[in-house]
Structure formats: structure tokens, C-alpha cells
Amino acid sequence: MTMATLYLFVGYPGAGKTTVAQIICGATGATHLWADKVRQDMFGNPTHSAEESAHLYTHLNDQTRELLRNGHSVVFDTNFNFYKDRQHLRSIAAEAGADVKLIWLKTDRDLSKHRATNESHDQPTRLFGNMDTQDFERIAGHLQPPRPDEHAIVFIGQNLQKTEVLKRLGLT
């Protein structure tokens, strides 16, 4: 039996995280825990409040723990832009004996901002429409780049190619 893998993401809103998540899920059959979709399902018209987010991430962390314990790989599709959050998920994976792959979508900030704040129309990866510029700046300003010992796999999100993503992640 293959070891379960937890895929985590770092990157600005609009960097290409959900696109890469969908590629991984399609190739591996991993469970896609897409925070935006789960938030929409749980709250209908979400407020993105701290209380709502705490409830959402407790739920997603519990789901991740259960799936990994049962040998299922998980693509946890959200911004893990804080080192402490990445470490918390690593500890959940370690408890389950699962591997962790950290993917850093190191996409140009201006391109990411444009995608997140102006290009949501007809984009299946942008569930909540165009992001407010102030929200983008707040999230982008708090990004803690992966440390060398995190061994992040870096992608530039300007031109993501399925074959390259799968090859770099060792999935081909």
C-alpha cells in the first residue's frame, strides 16, 4: 500500500493553488479539501469572520486527520501562508504516518493580484468572485515564505502545465 500524502500550498490569492490542486487530484484520486468550497457549503453566504474561519479550519483539520489515518491522500487547498499552520498540519500528517509535500506557488505578486481582484468572471477556481484589493494586500502581506528545511516544491504560476506539475511532484 502506498503511503498517504498531504499536499499543502503557499502562495498569494490568484497564484494558481486550486489549479495545481485539481491537477493533483485528477492524477492521484486524492481527496480535494478546497477551503473556499467547504466554506461556501457550510455558511452559504460566508462573512470570512475570524469565528467562521476558526470553525471552518477546525472542521477541515479534523477531516484531514481522519482521511490520512484511513490511508487517503489529501490535497488541502488553501493558503498555508503561516509557518505555524504548516507545522500544525505536518503534525497531523506525522500522527497518521503520512508524507507531506509543500507546494509554493511563487507567482508574481502583480499577476496574482490581478487574477484575484479582476479576473473571477467565469473562473471555476474563484468561488467568491473578485477579491477586494485590501483583502488581497492583507493576505499577501502576511505570507511567510517556506523555510529551507520545509523543502517546498516551487512552481511559477504564470504558465502551469499539467505534465510539468506531475513530473515535479513525482506523480508520473
Let me know: does 126 contact 120? Beta carbons within 8 Å: yes
The low-confidence residues of the chain, meaning pLDDT below 70, are 1, 119-131
Structurally, the chain folds into a number of domains equal to: 1
- Half-sphere CA count of 163, side-chain side, radius 13 A: 0
User: What pLDDT score does 116 carry?
Assistant: 87
Helix (H, G, I), strand (E, B), or coil: what is residue 31?
strand
What whole-number distance in Å separates Cα of residue 57 and Cα of residue 72? 19
pTM over 0.85: yes
Identify the pLDDT of residue 126. Answer: 52
pLDDT in tens, 107-146: 999 999 998 888 665 666 555 566 689 988 988 999 999 9
Question: Can you tell me the distance from the alpha carbon of 164 to that of 154, in angstroms, rounded to the nearest whole number?
Answer: 12
Q: How far apart are CA 97 and CA 149, in angstroms?
A: 19
In order of 48, 52, 143, 159, 160, the CA distances from 135 in angstroms are: 11, 16, 13, 25, 25
The pLDDT assigned to 125 comes to 56
CATH number at residue 102: 3.40.50.300
* Structural domain that includes position 137: 5-168
Q: For residue 61, give the 3-state DSSP assignment.
A: helix
Helix (H, G, I), strand (E, B) or coil at 75: strand
pLDDT of residue 123: 63
